[in-house]
Amino acid sequence: MTLEIKRVIIAALGGLFLLSLVFVQRMETARKAEEAGLRGPHIAVPSDSKACVDCHAEENPGIVSHWTGSTHAERGVGCYSCHAADREEADSYLHHGVQIATVVTPRDCANCHDAEADEFAQSHHAAAGNILASLDNFLAETVEGARMDFNPHSPTPGRAIQVVNGYASANSGCQQCHGAKVALDATDGGVVTVDDLQPDENGIPTNLDAVGRIARDENGRPLINSRTWPNTGIGRLNLDGSKGSCTACHSRHDFSPRRARQPENCGKCHLGPDHPQKEIYEESKHGIAFRDLKDDMNLDAENWVLGEDYSAAPTCATCHMSGNIRNGGRITHDPGERISWTNRPPVSLAMDTDINHEIVTETDPEARRALIHDSWNQKRDRMKDVCSNCHTDDYVNSFYKQYDNLVVLFNEKFAKPGLQIMAALVDNGLRTPTNFDEEIEWSWFYLWHHEGRRARHGASMMAPDYTHWHGMYEVAERFYMALIPQAREIAQHAAAGGRRSAANAVNAVIDGILSRPEHIWFEEGAEAQTEAIRQAMERRYGVPNR
Amino acid sequence: MNAVSRWVGERLPVSGRQFKELTNEPVPYHLKRWWFALGGTPAYLFIVQIFTGILLAFYYEASPATAYRSVEFITNEVAFGWFIRSVHKWAATLMIAAVILHQIRVFFTGAYRRPREINWFIGMSLLICTLMTGFTGYSLVFEQLSFWGATVGANIADTTPLIGPFLKNMMLAGSEYNEATLSRFFILHAAVLPVTIVMLIALHITVIRLQGITEFRFKDEEGGTPKTFNFFPDHLYTELIIGLVLMILLSALATIFPATMGPQANPLQTPEVIKPEWFFYVAFRWLKLFGGTAAILSMGFIIFTMFTWPFIDGWFRKHTKFQEASVWVGVFGVLAVISLTVWEAVARH
């Protein structure tokens, strides 16, 4: 072989090597830029979703754009991965040649995220739809609205209003957080829900008559009842029998972990007069630190483990769900796993839960112990694991004493007595069984549902103003200035109406309560305490208290 | 002036004639061709590496607790730190590429043949040292991929029969990646390997000087073309021009594609995708293809074959009719290296 031929071989191989080097460097530079967060990851649209992406990029570019920025897109999880459906599913339909369903449920997400779906299914979040038969729902469906459609009583200029939806407040209010019972329009004018479909363990309807009643458009697409959809309430009751909606926290279609980790995400529902957790958090040192140090929160970290990926501040997710270095980075999708009091009911309950994750209400100690599967103390220890990343054990334990004290104070001084008075009124026939038709029922509801929760939640998350001024102060005012006088007045009217024994019974309950040491100041005065406070002020400030 | 010359001459007793002989050896005419000047390119890039490496070492702290932050500090805070780091990174890439191109040239022109077998060994040793310097340097950043790259590298070494655990232990300064691992990598990267490379380069050049450069005569050189030309200044100019072009190329690469930083190493979290630096793509893909001990043994065999190729080639030429077997083996080898490297670059996992 001549030197000239070898020269050609060297040139060809050298050139090929340099070309491959340029190509490899291009790939490597892109990969490193991706790792450093300087460039979005390369997205390859899965073949089964290519047609969806092509069309929806034109029709609904936002959907595709959000998905393009998601981890799903990065890992090749396309539209069809989540929207695929069996022909037997109640809401499935043939869409441009592929069988899909519009509503993606936790059952669909569980195809990949089964552990998360299991945890979520056991959580109180998943059961949030149970409110659909509660006192709150009575408010929305009866007091605020009506459990019926009714005719408008006068015209609305410019609009031809034919009917008033009595459920509108529940549909747009309660159910957007708690979750709707998703319904399909029926051919008979009614609706078809999970109750009618009776799905089996795979989510396939067993009641074929109900399936036959499903109304469909000219393309065979089932018509989802507009009162129940769109809905991303966290306890949504789905047609396949699953409960909940993962998109309640993991907003579609980017399913951003970064967003789920931020308090604003929870603040869609956990805010307002009855459970202002978001505002309480913002008032707390935790929220203040988060606002200031958000840039140090490493919110894009893959696992986001407290003590490892960040320590700047906690968010809702940090304390209630995310992993921390002390628990080995274990994440939970059941926020109740770390909550030791439930402050939802009028009287706070210790979060001892049974095998079905229901709160144990048994009072006999022996029987109670047998029922408890996961005690409030175990739950508290899990939360303490989180706290201890930034606080000493003494600090955490003392905080919990303060929190317990406030909850117990509320329970004993106002909640249990309030319940006692309300029960006495019913027991003696001085209050109707219907809620919210008498002033005292509104007073009681405000006391525990709004003000009482604010106080307890305020104490649970270190927000002094919510604990005191928005909380216990208003509880006390409602108790002494509304509940007691209104109960007395009801008794007085009863006595005047000839129902003396009923009135006496109610008054006896009220007197019993007000004669307790913690209430005695109200009717017998508290001059001694006032004088003690005056003297303390004088000692401290050198001037008499005015 | 005479006094100065005398003063210097007394202390450095080298005459002008001797100095000229030392520096101005006639070099074969074929070195006028650029691609025959590739031997000087890695040497030039090595000097760039030493210079930029010293600057980086002023700030680098070799411990797991501080390494990442110190590189971050170099990149974001130190004046021109990002540029120096980027030049260091790209010079490493170009140096390895230049070594490989040089070796391709030497291989296909048969310049390793008798009596230059020893210089082939030295060249192979330089290649191994250069790759090891690249590996240890990549690990120093202490980002996720460099940490896991080192861990995977050590685990691969562990699969070597008999001496695997010993090799892993030597690499990591223990059975697992620990506090001492980074300082070990740093000492290897910044002291042991560079000094070894300097000594090998000195030996390489000494052997070249002793034996002279292989002479080639191309057809277009026949006739009146002189056999040699002067090293100084003619060939030095060639090298200087190559050096200037490299400097421009390095500056451009460093500016357009500056060295980035991935997430900090997290021993508790294995990244979904682990990739070594590009020059180990071929070995990584080989490992994925053949797995564990088989891959290690076969790679060891290939490296052994590369070292001893002058003798294997000699045997072939002496005992068979395949006089140009080395060319076809070389073509196959280079194409295999390129294919496996590109394959690994394209593969996500």
Task: Read off the pLDDT band of A359 (50, 70, 90).
Answer: very high
- Structure confidence at residue A232 (pLDDT): 94
Separation of alpha carbons A528 and A524, rounded Å: 11
A243: Cβ–Cβ under 8 A, 6 or more apart, which residues?
A: A106, A121, A126, A127, A129, A179, A235, A236, A237
Decide if B342 and A7 are in contact by the 8 Å CB cutoff. no
CB atoms within 10 A of CB A306: 25
- Which of A325, A310, A328, A326 is closest to A261 using CA atoms? A310
Decide if B35 and A14 are in contact by the 8 Å CB cutoff. yes
Q: Given its phi and psi angles, is residue A329 left (phi above 0), alpha (psi -120 to 50 degrees) or beta?
A: left
| DSSP, res A462 | T
Tokens of A161: 């209003």
Separation of alpha carbons A30 and B345, rounded Å: 11
* B284 lies in some domain: no
Task: Read off the pLDDT band of A29 (50, 70, 90).
Answer: confident
- Structure confidence at residue A201 (pLDDT): 93
- Structure confidence at residue A44 (pLDDT): 82
Tokens of B174: 């223990």
In sign, the C-alpha dihedral spanning A412, A415, A418, A420 is negative
| A7, A31, A329 member nearest B268 (Cβ) | A329
Could you check whether the bond before residue A46 is cis, i.e. omega within 30 degrees of 0?
A: no
CB atoms within 10 A of CB A250: 19
| CA–CA min distance B136, chain A (Å) | 18
Longest dimension (CA), chain B: 71
Per the model's pLDDT, the better-predicted residue between A133 and A414 turns out to be A414
Contacts of A305 in chain B (CB under 8 A): 268
Whole-model pTM: value is 0.66
Per the model's pLDDT, the better-predicted residue between B349 and A41 turns out to be A41
| B219, B263, B335 member nearest A35 (Cβ) | B263
- pLDDT at position A305 over 60: yes
> To the nearest 10°, the Cα dihedral for A173, A174, A180, A183?
-50
E strand intervals along chain B: 26-28, 228-230
Average confidence score pLDDT of chain A: 93
Alpha helices in A84-199 (DSSP H): 106-109, 114-121, 135-138, 168-169, 175-178, 194-197
**Closest chain A residue to B33, measured at CA:** A7
Pair A321, A261: CB distance under 8 Å:
no
Alpha helices in A294-334 (DSSP H): 316-320
A324-351: pLDDT as tens digits: 999 999 999 999 999 999 999 999 999 9
Separation of alpha carbons B310 and B111, rounded Å: 9
A458-507: pLDDT as tens digits: 999 999 999 999 999 999 999 999 999 999 999 999 999 999 999 999 99
- Structure confidence at residue A360 (pLDDT): 95
- Structure confidence at residue B184 (pLDDT): 93
Q: At what angle do helices B144-158 and B292-307 cross, to 10 degrees?
A: 80
| CA–CA min distance A365, chain B (Å) | 43
Decide if A7 and B218 are in contact by the 8 Å CB cutoff. yes
B135-158: pLDDT as tens digits: 999 999 998 888 988 888 888 888
Whether B97 has its CB under 8 Å from any CB of chain A: the answer is: yes
Tokens of A268: 């869609």
Give me the residue label for tokens 């009028």: A346
- Structure confidence at residue B141 (pLDDT): 92
H or E segment to which residue B298 belongs: helix B292-307
Q: At what angle do helices B236-256 and B81-108 cross, to 10 degrees?
A: 130
Mutate to test the interface with B, among A5, A7, A311 (most CBs of B within 10 A): A7
Separation of alpha carbons B209 and A71, rounded Å: 59
Tokens of A300: 């894009």
Per the model's pLDDT, the better-predicted residue between A11 and A102 turns out to be A102
Mutate to test the interface with A, among B105, B260, B326, B348 (most CBs of A within 10 A): B260
Decide if A24 and B97 are in contact by the 8 Å CB cutoff. no
| B101, B216, B331 member nearest A14 (Cβ) | B101
Buried/exposed A11-39: b ≥16 CB within 10 Å, e otherwise: eebbeebeebbeebbebbbebbbbbeeee
Domain hosting residue B236, numbered range: 33-270
A365-378: pLDDT as tens digits: 999 999 999 999 99
A101 forms beta bridges with A92
- Structure confidence at residue B224 (pLDDT): 65
Whether A8 has its CB under 8 Å from any CB of chain B: the answer is: no
* B101 lies in some domain: yes
- SS3 for A250? coil
* B165 lies in some domain: yes
* Phi, psi (deg, nearest 5) at residue B262: -80, -175
- Structure confidence at residue B218 (pLDDT): 64
- DSSP letters, B68-95, are HHHHHHHHHTSTTHHHHHHHHHHHHHHH
B231-290: pLDDT as tens digits: 777 778 888 888 899 999 999 999 998 998 888 888 887 777 788 888 999 989 998 898
- Which of A423, A425, A405, A415 is closest to A448 using CA atoms? A415
B228 forms beta bridges with B28
Task: Read off the pLDDT band of A132 (50, 70, 90).
Answer: low
Whether A22 has its CB under 8 Å from any CB of chain B: the answer is: no
Decide if B275 and A7 are in contact by the 8 Å CB cutoff. no
* B233 lies in some domain: yes
Separation of alpha carbons B261 and B138, rounded Å: 11
Pair B23, B231: CB distance under 8 Å:
yes
| CA–CA min distance B101, chain A (Å) | 6
Tokens of A319: 């304390």
In sign, the C-alpha dihedral spanning B94, B95, B100, B105 is positive
- Residue B262: which CATH number? 1.20.810.10
Average pLDDT over residues A272-292: 96
Whether B327 has its CB under 8 Å from any CB of chain A: the answer is: yes
- Which of A35, A71, A306, A21 is closest to B146 using CA atoms? A35
Pair A371, A360: CB distance under 8 Å:
yes
Separation of alpha carbons A13 and A19, rounded Å: 10
Could you check whether the bond before residue A253 is cis, i.e. omega within 30 degrees of 0?
A: yes
Mutate to test the interface with B, among A2, A16, A17 (most CBs of B within 10 A): A17
Number of domain units in chain B: 1
Whether B263 has its CB under 8 Å from any CB of chain A: the answer is: yes
**Closest chain B residue to A13, measured at CA:** B334
Separation of alpha carbons A180 and A141, rounded Å: 13
Separation of alpha carbons B345 and B338, rounded Å: 10
Q: At what angle do helices A61-68 and A50-59 cross, to 10 degrees?
A: 130
- Structure confidence at residue A545 (pLDDT): 52
**Closest chain A residue to B94, measured at CA:** A21
Separation of alpha carbons B185 and B178, rounded Å: 12
CB atoms within 10 A of CB A269: 19
- Which of A95, A85, A99, A292 is closest to A199 using CA atoms? A85
Whether B219 has its CB under 8 Å from any CB of chain A: the answer is: yes
Tokens of A527: 């001059």
Whether B217 has its CB under 8 Å from any CB of chain A: the answer is: yes
| A1, A7, A33 member nearest B260 (Cβ) | A33
- Using CA atoms, how far residue B299 sits from B96, B103, B123, B343, in Å, is 19, 18, 18, 18
* B244 lies in some domain: yes
| CA–CA min distance A4, chain B (Å) | 7
- Structure confidence at residue B273 (pLDDT): 77
Separation of alpha carbons A378 and A107, rounded Å: 29
Separation of alpha carbons B147 and A322, rounded Å: 25
Task: Read off the pLDDT band of A228 (50, 70, 90).
Answer: very high
* Phi, psi (deg, nearest 5) at residue A525: 85, 165
Separation of alpha carbons A394 and A403, rounded Å: 14
Domain boundaries, chain A: 105-149+165-248, 256-329, 334-377, 394-514
- Structure confidence at residue B231 (pLDDT): 73
A148-190: pLDDT as tens digits: 999 999 999 999 999 999 999 999 999 999 999 999 999 999 9
Separation of alpha carbons A451 and A272, rounded Å: 11
Whether B35 has its CB under 8 Å from any CB of chain A: the answer is: yes
CB atoms within 10 A of CB A205: 23
**Residue A476 burial by Cβ neighbours in a 10 Å radius (0-12, 13-18, 19+):** middle
Separation of alpha carbons B251 and A480, rounded Å: 79
* B14 lies in some domain: no
Tokens of B20: 């000229």
pLDDT tens by residue, chain B, 349 residues: 688 888 888 888 877 777 777 777 777 776 667 666 677 889 899 999 999 999 999 999 999 989 999 999 999 999 999 999 999 999 999 999 999 998 998 898 888 888 889 999 999 999 999 999 999 999 999 988 889 888 888 888 888 888 889 989 998 988 888 889 999 999 999 999 999 999 999 999 888 878 777 666 666 666 666 677 777 777 788 888 888 999 999 999 999 989 988 888 888 877 777 888 889 999 899 988 987 788 888 999 999 999 999 999 988 888 888 778 889 999 999 999 999 999 999 886 6
Whether B338 has its CB under 8 Å from any CB of chain A: the answer is: yes
Whether B105 has its CB under 8 Å from any CB of chain A: the answer is: yes
- Structure confidence at residue A302 (pLDDT): 84
**Closest chain B residue to A18, measured at CA:** B97
Whether B95 has its CB under 8 Å from any CB of chain A: the answer is: no
| DSSP, res B156 | H
Q: Which of 293-332 (A) contact B at CB < 8 A?
A: 301-303, 305, 308, 329
